[in-house]
């Protein structure tokens, strides 16, 4: 993979994903309520808490960023790996187009899901 603006965006996305993932794991898996039964009101996976987070604008934006950055970082890395395989080099443009299309579809689905929760739940 050559360096350039897309590579720099890949690295920047990884940098931000590090902190978003740290916050996610801290909240969902290492908080005091995470060891409680799912029915406990302090458990972050309790349905009431999930609904409450989905109605917060900040969390909806964070979820959207998480999906977008994760998809870009993952698919750019996957494209780099696939494009370095000699037998797949002739299909580089097709692979790129397929990954972009799949990424757009998955981003649209993830964004719709996050914002659906914000507006309707």
Domain ranges within the chain, ordered by starting residue: 5-120
**How confident is the model over 20-54, as pLDDT tens digits?**
999 999 988 898 888 899 899 999 999 999 999 99
**How confident is the model over 59-107, as pLDDT tens digits?**
999 999 999 999 999 999 999 999 999 999 999 999 999 999 999 999 9
pTM of the model: 0.89
The topology under which CATH files domain 5-120 is 3 helical TM bundles of succinate and fumarate reductases (1.20.1300)
> Is-contact 96 79, C-beta < 8 A?
yes
Q: What pLDDT does residue 121 have?
A: 85
Q: Which has more pLDDT, 17 or 34? A: 17
Spell out where the chain has E strands. Answer: none
């Amino acid at each position: 993979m050559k360096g350039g603006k897309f590579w720099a965006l890949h690295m920047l996305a990884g940098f931000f994903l590090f902190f978003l993932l740290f916050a996610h794991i801290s909240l969902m898996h290492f908080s005091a309520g995470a060891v409680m039964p799912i029915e406990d009101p302090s458990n972050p996976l309790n349905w009431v808490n999930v609904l409450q987070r989905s109605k917060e604008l900040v969390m909806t934006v964070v979820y959207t960023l998480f999906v977008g950055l994760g998809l870009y970082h993952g698919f750019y890395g996957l494209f780099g790996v696939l494009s370095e395989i000699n037998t797949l080099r002739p299909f580089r443009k097709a692979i790129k187009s397929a990954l972009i299309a799949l990424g757009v579809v998955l981003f649209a689905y993830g964004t719709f899901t996050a914002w659906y929760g914000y507006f309707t739940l």
